[in-house]
């Protein structure tokens, strides 16, 4: 990275609950079991198109611990991610396949996926945003020094840190991001 090179801002987006509809069991969100079960959030294509037009790099960052737990094949997760990438025009996809016991740097609430994306794609994290629907997303955004947007679906779990903005939908997140972005 040379002096004078302009770094870009990104919008990091969680997968399940932000880009696709989760399966809710006992008040908690779970990922779809297959590509056939995948339902993209209806407002996602339009919201992401507006963010792209505003100049943001669009990056999905997702924890998929069911692979480490032996509950899901990696190929299924990659097929779901591929469909989301293709249909939503994502610039990059970062996935953590580990579980908490692995203590890796990439699993949210750690910021490893975001900092790796920043290094690889020349991103300015302080001008970037993390959009998520779980406490892990907001903590990861804080750890990466991004502004955070929490989509509150009323899940049966609490936030551990305060987001910069709480909204009710991806469309509301887009509206706020565009209103506070500096470019």
Domain count, the chain: 1
Confidence of residue 3 (pLDDT cuts 50, 70, 90): very low
Are 131 and 171 within 8 A, CB to CB? no
Which CATH number is 18's domain given?
3.40.50.1000
Beta bridge partners of 8: 123
Q: How far apart are CA 25 and CA 92, in angstroms?
A: 29
Average pLDDT over residues 159-182: 96
Average pLDDT over residues 167-177: 97
Dihedrals phi, psi of 53, to nearest 5 degrees: -60, -30
Instruction: Note whether residue 1 is domain-resident.
Output: no
Query: Could you report the per-residue pLDDT of 10-47, keeping only the tens digit for each?
Result: 999 999 999 999 888 887 778 999 999 999 999 999 99
Instruction: Note whether residue 5 is domain-resident.
Output: no
- Say yes or no to pLDDT of 172 above 80: yes
- The residue among 36, 35, 38, 34 whose CA lies nearest residue 16 is 38
Instruction: Note whether residue 41 is domain-resident.
Output: yes
Confirm whether 14 is a catalytic residue: yes
Confirm whether 133 is a catalytic residue: no
Query: Could you report the per-residue pLDDT of 58-73, keeping only the tens digit for each?
Result: 999 999 999 999 999 9
Active-site annotation holder among 14, 66, 133, 137? 14
Instruction: Note whether residue 76 is domain-resident.
Output: yes
Domain holding 162, by residue range, is 10-180
* pTM listed for this prediction: 0.94
């Amino acid at each position: 990275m040379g002096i004078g090179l302009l770094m870009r801002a990104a919008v990091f987006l969680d997968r399940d609950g932000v880009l696709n509809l989760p399966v809710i069991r006992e008040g908690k969100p779970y990922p779809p079991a297959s590509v056939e079960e995948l339902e993209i959030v209806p407002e996602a294509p339009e919201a992401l198109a507006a963010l792209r037009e505003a100049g943001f790099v669009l990056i999905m960052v997702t924890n998929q611990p069911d692979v480490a737990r032996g509950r899901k094949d990696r190929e299924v997760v990659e097929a779901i991610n591929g469909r989301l990438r293709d249909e939503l025009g994502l610039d990059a996809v970062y996935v953590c396949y580990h579980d908490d016991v692995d203590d890796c740097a990439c699993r949210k609430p750690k910021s490893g996926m975001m900092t790796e994306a920043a290094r690889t794609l020349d991103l300015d994290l302080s001008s970037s945003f993390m959009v998520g629907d779980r406490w892990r997303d907001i903590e990861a955004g804080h750890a990466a020094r991004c502004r955070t947007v929490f989509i509150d679906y009323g899940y049966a779990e609490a936030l551990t840190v305060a987001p910069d903005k709480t909204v009710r939908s991806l469309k509301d997140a887009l509206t706020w991001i565009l209103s506070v972005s500096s470019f």
